[in-house]
Amino acid sequence: MSYVYLAKEISSGATVAIKVLSPRLAADKSSVERLRREAGLAMRLDHPNVCRILRLGESEDGLIYLVMPFLKGELLSDREVRGGPMDLATGIVLLQQMCAGLHHAHELQIIHRDLKPENVMLVPDDDGGADHAVVMDFGLAKERRADPAIAKLTATGIILGTPEFMSPEQIRGKPLDARSDIYALGIVAFEMFTGKLPFQGRNAQEMMIARLRGQPTPIRQLRADTPPAVEKALTKALQTNPDDRYTTAVEFAEALTAGESLGGGGGLFGKLKGKFT
């Protein structure tokens, strides 16, 4: 749908990323409308754990583009490939940061709809210390109170999202709210800690059917050192019925460490937990 370029803004000297809509798609009114919607929503976001949109522009020859801050870091998906299952203390801090960013969006009535490891950037802190998580690409985001024009873009029968991480209600084409993002984050968390998905299938279709009809693999079957709080939190986040999940991302974040010291980590995790934004 788009090409992304590294650029420098002449007036400020700031390094930015420019997302340019493919010329072929720029002629398609629905694609242009989606990109404008992405910009309109993401310009309202202002949180350290969310990648915001600085502005939307159009060149003299009709190219439509978005300008975003350049994030120098590593995609969560690349980190998983490079490092394998993540250390529990580190991973939980990152998950809580993702929860904080998502909660900010949800407060603005914005649902991400396509949360996955490829849409999370791990950015080193300014002091060169630990990474912090930034949720990116609200390109499939949808306001909970969608107007008729937006509803038309995501009409029944057009499923937007990534099959491996979609909630059951998204697979069914039902209305979505914050609980759908919480479900997707539960799958992201499961993969972070085990290197595997909680629902198995020979292809994306079988995995979608498993999410509609089956139960997720208990995380302790794949990682025995998972703290009870994390197991309980993921079990609740991955419930088929949205009413059985956490209502807010903040509740999910708090549940991940409820009464836990992470297997004898003592005060270390408490210090880490206090650092996340």
Catalytic residue set: 114
Amino acid of residue 53: I
Query: What is the rounded CA–CA span in Å between residue 124 and residue 117?
Result: 17
DSSP string, 220-244: GGT-TT--HHHHHHHHHHT-SSGGG
Burial of 243 (0-12, 13-18, 19+ CB in 10 A): exposed
DSSP string, 239-265: -SSGGGS-SSHHHHHHHTTTT--TTT-
Query: What is the rounded CA–CA span in Å between residue 171 and residue 186?
Result: 16
Query: Are the CB atoms for 99 and 253 separated by under 8 Å?
Result: yes
Of 178, 185, 189, give the one whose Cα is nearest residue 108.
Answer: 178
For the chain, give the longest Cα–Cα distance: 61
